[in-house]
Amino acid sequence: FSLTVATGRAQVQQEPRLETTEGSSISINCSHAKKRIEDFIHFYRQLPGRSPEFLALIARGSKEVRTPPGEVSVSEDGQSSALRLSGAGRGDAAVYYCALRD
C-alpha cells in the first residue's frame, strides 16, 4: 500500500509519495529551512473520504504519537522533522500533511 504526503505550506517540503509493506515502519520527513525556534510543526492525515485529522504538534525534540502509533521529532537545528509510524497498516493509507506555523 502507499502513503501520500503533501505540503501544508510552501516553506515545507515533503516526499510526494511513499510505499511500504504492511507492518513495516516508515518515516515521513519534512524539510523547513525557515523554521524559527518558536514555530511549531503540525502533522495531519486525511484518510480517503474523510476530513483531515490532527496527529501531533511539536516545536523541538521528540514525542510519542498514539494514533497512528509512532513518534514525531524535530532535528536539533530545526531544519527538518519526521513522523515515524511503527507497524504501518492498510488503515494508515492516507494523505499526510506537515505544516509550519507559529
Residue 65's domain is classified under what CATH number? 2.60.40.10
- Tell me which residue range forms the domain holding 78: 23-101
- Which residues 6+ apart lie within 8 Å of 53 measured at CB? 44, 45, 46, 47
Q: How many CA atoms lie within 13 A of 66 on its CB side?
A: 1
CB contact set of 21 (below 8 Å; sequence gap of 6+): none
pLDDT of residue 2: 46
**pLDDT score for 10:** 45
Q: Is residue 12 scored above 50 in pLDDT? A: yes
pLDDT in tens, 44-75: 999 889 999 999 999 999 999 988 889 999 99
Q: How many domains does the chain have?
A: 1
Going by C-alpha positions, the residue among 50, 44, 53 that lies closest to residue 12 is 44
pLDDT in tens, 16-31: 667 777 887 888 888 8
